[in-house]
Amino acid sequence: MVLVPRGYKVRPVKKMTHSPPRIVVLGSINLDLVIRCASIPRPGETLLAAAAAEVCGGKGANQAVAAARAGGSVTMIGRVGDDAFAGRLVANLERENIDCQWVRTTSQCASGLAIVSVAQTGENAITVVSGANARLSAADVAAAQDVIAAADVLLVQWEVPLDTVLAAMKIAHAAGVRIILDPAPTPKQRPAALFDAALFDVDLICPNESEAAALTGSAVETPEQIEAAAAALHHKGARQVAITVGRRGAMLWTGEKSAWVEPFSVTAVDTTAAGDAFAGALAVFWAEQDDLLEAVRFANAAGALAASRRGAQPSLGARGEIETLWKTKK
Ligand code: ADP
């Protein structure tokens, strides 16, 4: 059965012709304080950790780096603070050839900060202090209107204010630019805004299992539940859905049919940024080849590569590395 989502609008997207594809990422830029520990501390527990490191992160920045390394021509829209971290965060993006002219400095504000605990098993737990990311506004987006309208793909997440995300999506819609939404982090309490159909009016949504569960209010574990969640997200308005399921790969729902996209077998040492690797690589490949199923396969390779290495941005693969792994299954 083909479900027709409520408020579904058939909106033509323009043919993607730029080479390399133009990807605009609107999102967060953080400094990650990464703590390696035997296990993730439980409430009330104090653990001694072997090491800590300061590294550049943020879902938006990670996905921008992932897309740039996967071969995209990437522009970042975001905000940093006026603290000591800001220059380092922007220089880091520029080193990846990401255009940062739309990354603004916020006076009297700290840059975003994330405390990332990584357990020996590779699992992670993350606390984010938004800082300047919370100040990214619809006016910032309006200033970057032309660059969004000229993009092949707009890639957004929810680590910046939802109104700002919606403002960017509106520009992309008007210009026929394809939108990919990684709905992360998904708030624990579901604010009224999450019931706003406009937030789901995207060409592709790519949650992981726990995000899909939070958004649909149902368990998302078994293959049947994963398919039901994809159908529900499609019903909310997303034209296509790719649910990432860690070492089990991903499930793609195109509105008419679903397909399981097999994972690549790797030894996982740290799954931080696997989802970011997936989203960035997916945006580039989909823009290049207009073949979503193959793009998800390519993104699975990028995700597996990231899971097989330590860290967030350091774990993101270059185009050649992703292709080498991807071709093992072609
Ligand atoms: P997130 O980081 O958002 O939780 P996932 O853990 O689902 O996202 O990972 C994103 C993608 O990365 C998966 O769909 C899968 O293709 C790949 N991936 C993640 N972990 C592994 C793993 N242990 N082995 C192989 N592939 C993995």
What is the per-residue pLDDT for 190? 60
Tokens of 130: 């938004």
For ligand 1, the distance from its centroid to the CA atom of residue 101, given in whole angstroms, is: 31
Residue 125 Cβ inside 6 Å of ligand 1? The answer reads: no
Nearest ligand 1 atom to the CA of 271 is 20
Give me the pLDDT at residue 176, please: 95
Q: Could you tell me which residues are beta bridge partners of residue 35?
A: 52, 117
To which residue do tokens 């982090």 refer?
185
| Whether residue 240 has its Cβ less than 6 Å from ligand 1 | no
For residue 90, pLDDT beyond 80: yes
E strand intervals along the chain: 22-26, 30-37, 51-57, 73-80, 99-105, 112-119, 124-129, 153-157, 178-182, 204-205, 240-244, 250-253, 258-261
CA distance 77 to 91: 14
Confidence tier at 1 by pLDDT (50, 70, 90): very low
Residue 243 per-residue DSSP state: E
C-alpha triplet 313, 317, 319: angle, nearest 5°: 135
H or E segment and range at residue 301 = helix 292-307
CB atoms within 10 A of CB 243: 25
- Residue 303 CB–ligand 1 contact under 6 Å: yes
- Cα(197)–Cα(6) distance, integer angstroms: 8
Mean pLDDT of 180-202: 80
Query: Which pTM was predicted?
Result: 0.92
CA distance 246 to 74: 26
Active-site positions read 276
Does residue 266 have its Cβ closer than 6 Å to ligand 1?
Answer: yes
Residue type present at position 167? A
Hey, whose CA ends up nearest to atom 6 of ligand 1?
246
Encode pLDDT of 239-250 as tens digits.
999 999 999 999
Task: Look up residue 121 and give its DSSP letter.
Answer: T
Atom of ligand 1 nearest to the CA of 184: 3
Q: Give the class (CATH, top level) of 22-28+58-82+97-105+134-329.
A: alpha beta
